[in-house]
Structure 1
Amino acid sequence: MASLTPLFIALQLIKLVYASSNYFMLPLHQISGAYFAKLDIGTPPTEFRVAVDTGSSDLWIHSQNDPACSLNIAGFSNCTFGVFNSSNSSTYTNLNQSFTALYQDTTFANGVYSTDDIGANGLPLGTFQFALVNDSSTPMGILGVSLPQLEASALNKGRHQYNNFPLQLYENGIISYPAYSVYLNGNKGSNVLFGGIDHHKYKGQLVKMPLIKGIQPEIKTLSVELNSLSITVGDSLSISPNSSTFLFQGSIPAIIDTGTTIATLPLSLYKQLALALGLQYDAVYYGYIGSCSSLEEKNIHFSFSGVLLSAPALNFVANLTENTCIYVASPSIVPQLVLGQAFLENVYLVVDLQAKSLAMTQSNLHSDISDIQVLENGILSIPIVSDLASIRNTSSIPTPQHTSTSTTKPSTHLQTLVHKHSVANGAPNIFSIGLAKRDASLSLSLVDEDTFYMADIEIGSGNSKVGVLVDTGSSDLWVVASNNTYCKPNTAGSLSKGRQLLHIKDQFVHKIQHKSTNQIDCSEYGTFDPSKSSSFTSNFTDFSITYDDDTFARGTWGQDTVNIGSIEIRNMNLAVCDDTDNEQGVLGIGLAGLEVTAAGSSSNYEYENLPLKLVNDGIINRAAYSVYLDDSSNSEILFGAIDHSKYQGDLVKLPIVNALYQSGVGKPVQLAVTLNELSYMKNEEKASIGSGAAAALLDTGTTLSYFPDSVVNSLVQLFGMKYSTSLSYYITECSIGNDASLNFNFQGLQLDVPLSSFLINLYTQDNQVSDKCAFGILSSSNENYMTLGQSFLSHVYMVADLQGLEIALAKGNNGNSKNLDLIINEIPSAKQPANQSTYGSKFSTFNVIATPSISTVSSSSTLSSDSATSSSSLSSTASYTVSSSSTTSLSSTTSSSSNTSLSSTTNTSSSASTTSSKSNPSSSFPATSVHRTSVHSTNRTSSQTVNHSSPSQTSLSTSYSSTLSAPPSSSATESSTGSPSPSVSSISSTSHNGGSKLTAHSLAIPKLNQFYIVMGKCLTIVKLIGIGSLGLSSAAFLVSNYKLVPDVLKVSSSSVETLKNKASKLITVLRLQFWSLGSLSTFLFYQAFSHSPSYGKHPYLIYSALAFPIALAYNYYFTFSDEQKLIADAEEKIIYKTETKLVKEAVQQEEENSPLDNSVYNDLGSKSPKFEEKEVSVQVPHVSKVELSETTYKDILKSLSNSYNVTSAILGAGFLLASVGYFGDNLK
């Protein structure tokens, strides 16, 4: 009768109680936007209120030990929904398995899995597994009723699934089938009916639909396929193209979640829905607001595989005032919807956990009676509609567009990566094909649009021509859609060839112009209409970027044919953005790690951007390109080749470093190299600004340059610049750029850039160049990171090898005759740098001299300057006025006797105004620069960012009043009517068609005659020797423990001398190998770490280097004294000692003077002496006994053996760590 346990009897009684019904109704109550149920847990029972959640799968409650609940004793509201004292429950069991849950709103719960008896409605339900939480940030527990695959125990590798609440109800015999229905109607009969369906709680007929994976690798959530989203006015549930506004048609996953109050929508749908509802964005409330009365007759329709469900628009807003509502849905970058209570309060839901399916239909919110049917074989036991056309009127629902299974679907679940320093009114350069495909390279001639480089590309079967910004600081291609909501009417279309370039002087007003105009002229750079391209394929995956200047681009990923000149690139990944306030898209050609799909989440991956696509399609041999930017007409980017005529001096290749390692990024994602020193040069004078190791990002998408705050402050001190609070720029005399330069030292490569390149001219009222300039180097808060934009790159030649993770730099040269070389395996003719030390170590710092001093150097440098000279002085105050009609002027009035006015001219005519607040320029980017960070928010718990550059240009009328002064303090702020935006000089170029035959040059390998070059070239050998040294040292101690020490002990009984010699020899040998091999390993590991490129600076190198010092410290502390004692004691104790003994001795008697004595004459006739016996004390040598010393020696040797075991373990751990790390490196 062992089976008749109390638990068995209790379960049988429970089954008898529910045998007549085989379903279980759990009433729901609503409070503060949450639907909760009441459960009784423990013996004796404690009542708990838990939120019912179809978006999770665990039941958890608060422990009385939860710190969030401790305030409850003092009358606070924390955990007033129930706390559990496990010691008071006789049926409680701790399973000793950890539990952790994280939710979208960043709340969390941590605790342990447990079991106890649970009841509800006054009836027992049996024993259930749940989590007892002792650390949480939410006052109410949760009853998760989703699939077991979503349990916290199942999400971690090696964990398990268990029977959650609905499955345990089935296991306990409470219900006949693991399914339930959900009816949400406020506090008017809301319930979860486990094991049954209430037919009076819905209208129409239930339609079954399978669960889908969504964005997960397997089915884990209650996710179904949504095919369309539309809005109608009136009560009718019928939708048609004539009466409905369609926001989406296609296929996208939608999670059904009672734990979400409203809904979460992809960014593209989020804004479209708000605008379609007639709401407008309000900066005061940071949301979309509108009239509540205008929403009363509007309905939102959701179509699921032909099942049409609707919800009132008022469910998605909340009242601000009596007749003002604010949009309360949430945006998400994840390509899926989460439909919460705002949707479910109008829908009857049935969930089949066993069949992994659900059914939905419109709910009956006026039901007062029940008609419950028990589920015995799942939802199929209920009548369903097989002919979808018979469900209301669905004949007008558009057919969803299906995508090819081979289509690349970039993930957008991202982690914060980087602050992208973008252009101040930047724009791209125009590409034109210069080489045929057989040449294995692609030449792109660049045209500078004042502050950015634009490429003309053609997309789709209709060959739509659009202009895109060419950006080495980002990695994705996106274009403006023809239906962009920000386009001015009748401006969508192909690129306008008659566009007139903006002038540099207009750039100060760019940002204000951009902010003031809600619409842009999309004809300037062209747009793309996917519906007119038969080759376009959309996968309905969201693309979204938001920049620091609040501009953004949102759209959908897809594939289409892209033509660059005569080269056709099929199935190119690109995003089509129908919601952007930028006039042109971006062609990112950076590392794949900076793609919006490649950061952070478990589902991240990299796809083929343009450089990789060119390689995989056989157009070029290697994912590499060279960049030449110049004021002349020769600017170009060469994919797969370099042009030796475009540089002078040596081409030096530098490793790409991980500029973001401090942010936790594991590999390089930006084109950044190591800057070791920055200095100011003028004739024979030099001032060092800073030195050490800093990461320098080389970014064609950035017009100006961004230096750390301390560097900018140092330069400002050196030049005596004054700060304009209204312009948000430092203002100085343009003459400081005459014959002066900034010297950049990249691992020994010296590059001079004229100081005038970092100065921006101001203009007088009559459009004359002023003698006043704005400083074109802006501040960054990161002290070890800087961005070098076009102001720097226009003076150098750059080659980027994305596969080899190297960048080669040289001084630029405007060569007229091409000398092309293919990039096949490495950068041709590039040399190694003189200094192998790179940025990326946690020890890397860039030390800045706060007040630099100018000293005379032996050699002088002749530098060119493009700045205008003037003798006029800068006044202490100035007033700048910007107006806009057909002409925008930037005027200045000084307090001196002669007045100088500054102005600029623009070709735009719209006007508006804006207001911004300016903080300390030394600690933040001036508001005038378009310093952008693209923000990608996730569906659940994290906000994540990736940064790209994307400019735009509009116009505005506003005015400024400014004071030129020293930099304000960090606490100083100013409110201004806007912020201007500077520019650099205009660049023009023409297309070049290369006709030269390409030949590959072999790489010049320098002589390895310096130790540090050996370190840089032979890191593999260095690591292997270091690993071998640790291994040998560890092995030596093991051998001594298990071979040599026993051998010494064996000879101890034969000879003390032998014992002494053996022990002394053993210790000497161990000390010698320990010091030699251990110190060698530490030295080599440190050198390998120091001279690795930044992406190779793995911590295991440092940790392995610490193995010997730690072992040495332990060995010295525990074994050194024993070793000394063993030798010293042997020398002192094994000696000869003496004893005093009494012995008899013959003593000669003294002769007497008497002639007659009793002397004895011998046979020879001589006289013999007379002797007598006498006892005397003598010292007798004696060897001491060794029994005690032998025992001591044995004890000491055994103690040493134990210590050597620990020493060997320490060295062995370092050896193992180094080995695993080394092979891990080489397996990547």
Structure 2
Amino acid sequence: MKNIANLATSSLLASVASAQVVQWDIQRRENPKPRLSKRADNSVEEIITNERMRGGYFASCTVGTPAQELTLQLDTGSSDIWVPASEASICEDSSQGGGCTFGSYDYEKSSTLDVLNNDFQIAYVDGSGSRGDYISETFGIGNIKLQNVTMGLGLDTDIAYGLVGVGYALNEASVSQTRQIYDNLPVVMRNEGHIKSTAYSLWLNDLDASKGNILFGGIDTEKYTGNLIRVNIDQDQRVQNYTSFQVRLTSLEAHSSSGEDALSSSNFPIPVVLDSGTTFSYLPQDIVEQIWTEVGAEYTIVSNDGSGVPLLPCDFGNSGNYFSFGFGGNGGPVIKVGMDELVIPVQGKFTSGQYAGKDACQFGIQNMSSDPFLLGDTFLRSAYVVYDLENNEIAMAPTDFNSTKSNIVAFPSQGAEIPSSTPAPSQGATNSGPNNDPDYSAGRGFQSGGGGSGSSGGSSGDDDSAASLPPALDLTQFIVMGASMGLMLFGGGMFLLF
């Protein structure tokens, strides 16, 4: 989701506590009941689910006294907690499997409710939204309870679950409504002494992973490989302050068994927001054309209004090919994203063309017309990312998929540097990317040069399909489609749902 007023995006995770860190573990939902376990460091681990069909990552939390259990979506791209009210019409409608199946909040049953005002209102570019009251309530994560947490109460909402935003306070919905800022979840954790510094690390693990986590107040050195390298977060020039986790993408390369291609863009260095609440990733039109040609993706119309999605055969995910995303110039962090993380099932087949009869999947990188561009879950699963809201820095390293070890290092004090990290040495220099040739053509292509089961029948650099690519999405068209988009596809002539 994308907050219209603040140009923010959405999604969130949840829960473990110790004296200096609070960790929320992520697990693909097998059982609707969360499982808690005591850890050796006296913290508590709570399972968080990867809801592939809804899109996004969800966490079990409690609200109110006595505690009411809800499952909320974790979002680094927004900054508010909000919960659906049990009296909201969408929660009361249980017909055809509807209703708020992830839980809702009954304010009449809580003794700790304090209504602050009726100014809560948040809207998303797909037309959905929520409005109601700002309230102060008890908020539970694992074995810790936070007192007097400000959150929104969705009395009138068309979204059947709430969200937990952990972004900058300046990105709160209240800023656009009343210009008021309040202490949001990461700040409250620091103020109440559960963490030393307003910072957290995110480990989503791979697409099919059973477990991952977000760790407040520390890092886990067993969840990444190589070195953590820091880059600066961009200031929002409109307000001369920090409102989102925007950094600079300075290079992008495609790697296959036939070689590598350095991709070009007139937008380098590309401003990108690292957002766990966006299922796919959205980059400028000029570089996306090259990416789609590399992988053999075909833009397919899926609705009567002419909108569509990039599709490709599902077996292309087995090719072993990958993209390298570079940040902060030479010596900055480089994250490899494999095709297995970018090929998303949509339950359909190609009915004509070069891929006729093959199972169709949606490709995880899509096009957008203007910044801020977004790197969502299709990128973030391959990166271990530390968000430092005190020093306005982000550190990244390649993720260690399915790691079973843990070594948690807490931030020693407020404002301390990210542990075990070094700064990108060249990020102050201008970097226009490794290839700024306007005549660039994906000369090798992932599929034309071999590699994996998808090596035959794909696009090559001589293919002219890029010329027929759609216009880039702009903010008025942008919809965060999520993995559930596959269930909604219809028509298009070339693609047919089962």
* TM-score range relative to shorter protein: 0.7 to 0.9
1:665 Cα offset (Å): 3.4
For residues 822-841 of structure 1, the aligned pairs below 5 Å read 822-824=410-412, 825-837=416-428
Structure 1 distance, partners of 2:288, 2:439, is: 11
1:848 Cα offset (Å): 5.5
Change (3 A) 1:931 1:773: closer
Q: What SS class does the counterpart of residue 852 from structure 1 fall into?
A: coil
Question: Could you say which residue in structure 2 is the equivalent of 1:580?
Answer: 157
Note the alpha carbon deviations across 1:61-119, whole angstroms, 9 max, x for none: xxxxxxxxxxxxxxxxxxxxxxxxxxxxxxxxxxxxxxxxxxxxxxxxxxxxxxxxxxx
Question: Could you say which residue in structure 1 is the equivalent of 2:470?
Answer: 921
1:421 Cα offset (Å): 4.8
1:604 Cα offset (Å): 2.0
Question: Could you say which residue in structure 1 is the equivalent of 2:493?
Answer: 962
One-letter amino acid of the counterpart of residue 777, structure 1: I
Structure 2 distance, partners of 1:873, 1:845, is: 26
Structure 2 distance, partners of 1:957, 1:676, is: 35
1:868 Cα offset (Å): 6.5
Which of 313, 326, 329 lines up with 1:745 in the alignment?
Answer: 326
Structure 2 distance, partners of 1:415, 1:764, is: 32
For residues 410-809 of structure 1, the aligned pairs below 5 Å read 416-418=5-7, 420-421=8-9, 428-429=12-13, 431-433=14-16, 435-436=17-18, 439-446=19-26, 447-450=49-52, 451-489=55-93, 520-522=98-100, 524-599=101-176, 604-631=179-206, 632-658=209-235, 660-661=236-237, 664-683=238-257, 685-690=259-264, 692-726=268-302, 728-737=308-317, 738-747=319-328, 748-763=332-347, 770-782=358-370, 785-809=372-396
Which of 817, 821, 825 lines up with 2:409 in the alignment?
Answer: 821
Question: Could you say which residue in structure 1 is the equivalent of 2:462?
Answer: none
For residues 309-388 of structure 1, the aligned pairs below 5 Å read none
* TM-score under structure 1 length normalisation: 0.33
Alpha-carbon contact 1:581-1:952 (below 8 Å) kept: no
* Percent of residue pairs identical: 28
Note the alpha carbon deviations across 1:747-766, whole angstroms, 9 max, x for none: 2322211133222234458x
Structure 1 distance, partners of 2:228, 2:158, is: 40
Structure 2 distance, partners of 1:681, 1:873, is: 15
Question: Could you say which residue in structure 2 is the equivalent of 1:996?
Answer: none
Q: What SS class does the counterpart of residue 716 from structure 1 fall into?
A: helix
1:819 Cα offset (Å): 0.9
Alpha-carbon contact 2:86-2:92 (below 8 Å) kept: no
Structure 2 distance, partners of 1:954, 1:488, is: 25
1:565 Cα offset (Å): 1.1
Change (3 A) 1:529 1:850: farther
1:684 Cα offset (Å): 5.5
| Relative contact order, higher structure (CA 8 A, sep 6+) | 2
Alpha-carbon contact 1:472-1:701 (below 8 Å) kept: yes
**Highest Rg: 1 or 2?**
1
1:847 Cα offset (Å): 7.6
Q: What SS class does the counterpart of residue 487 from structure 1 fall into?
A: helix
1:488 Cα offset (Å): 3.9
Alpha-carbon contact 1:441-1:619 (below 8 Å) kept: yes
Q: What SS class does the counterpart of residue 611 from structure 1 fall into?
A: helix
Note the alpha carbon deviations across 1:890-945, whole angstroms, 9 max, x for none: xxxxxxxxxxxxxxxxxxxxxxxxxxxxx98332169997339xxxxxxxxxxxxx
1:428 Cα offset (Å): 4.7
One-letter amino acid of the counterpart of residue 362, structure 2: A
Structure 2 distance, partners of 1:923, 1:959, is: 21
Q: CA-atom RMSD, angstroms? A: 3.5
Greater mean alpha carbon deviation, residues 679-688 or residues 717-726: 717-726
Change (3 A) 1:872 1:923: closer
Alpha-carbon contact 2:302-2:490 (below 8 Å) kept: no
* TM-score under structure 2 length normalisation: 0.78
1:717 Cα offset (Å): 3.6
1:836 Cα offset (Å): 2.4
Note the alpha carbon deviations across 1:473-508, whole angstroms, 9 max, x for none: 0000000000112224468xxxxxxxxxxxxxxxxx
Question: Could you say which residue in structure 2 is the equivalent of 1:326?
Answer: none
Q: How many residues align?
A: 434
1:667 Cα offset (Å): 1.7
Structure 2 distance, partners of 1:780, 1:957, is: 21
Structure 2 distance, partners of 1:605, 1:540, is: 12
Question: Could you say which residue in structure 2 is the equivalent of 1:351?
Answer: none
For residues 886-965 of structure 1, the aligned pairs below 5 Å read 921-924=470-473, 930-931=479-480, 959-963=490-494
One-letter amino acid of the counterpart of residue 103, structure 2: G
Q: What SS class does the counterpart of residue 930 from structure 1 fall into?
A: coil
Structure 1: give runs of 5+ residues left out of the alignment: 1-413, 492-516, 857-864, 875-918, 933-950, 965-978, 981-1228
Structure 1 distance, partners of 2:157, 2:132, is: 8
Structure 2 distance, partners of 1:684, 1:697, is: 31
Structure 2 distance, partners of 1:643, 1:541, is: 40
Alpha-carbon contact 1:677-1:744 (below 8 Å) kept: yes
Alpha-carbon contact 2:250-2:270 (below 8 Å) kept: yes
Structure 2 distance, partners of 1:833, 1:541, is: 45
1:586 Cα offset (Å): 0.7
Q: What SS class does the counterpart of residue 792 from structure 1 fall into?
A: helix
For residues 218-233 of structure 1, the aligned pairs below 5 Å read none
Change (3 A) 1:684 1:956: closer
1:851 Cα offset (Å): 5.1
Note the alpha carbon deviations across 1:541-583, whole angstroms, 9 max, x for none: 3211221111111111010101111101000001110111111
Change (3 A) 1:959 1:740: closer
1:786 Cα offset (Å): 2.0
**Larger helix proportion of the pair:** 1
1:696 Cα offset (Å): 1.6
One-letter amino acid of the counterpart of residue 421, structure 2: A
1:609 Cα offset (Å): 0.5
Structure 2: give runs of 5+ residues left out of the alignment: 27-48, 350-356, 445-450, 460-467
Change (3 A) 1:594 1:741: same
Note the alpha carbon deviations across 1:614-647, whole angstroms, 9 max, x for none: 0011111000111101133330011001100001
1:657 Cα offset (Å): 1.1
Alpha-carbon contact 2:348-2:359 (below 8 Å) kept: no
1:584 Cα offset (Å): 0.7
1:870 Cα offset (Å): 8.0
Q: What SS class does the counterpart of residue 264 from structure 2 fall into?
A: strand
1:869 Cα offset (Å): 4.3
1:677 Cα offset (Å): 0.8
Alpha-carbon contact 1:707-1:787 (below 8 Å) kept: yes
Change (3 A) 1:780 1:716: same
One-letter amino acid of the counterpart of residue 605, structure 1: Q
Q: What SS class does the counterpart of residue 960 from structure 1 fall into?
A: coil
Structure 2 distance, partners of 1:644, 1:567, is: 24
One-letter amino acid of the counterpart of residue 471, structure 2: S
Note the alpha carbon deviations across 1:995-1028, whole angstroms, 9 max, x for none: xxxxxxxxxxxxxxxxxxxxxxxxxxxxxxxxxx
1:733 Cα offset (Å): 3.6
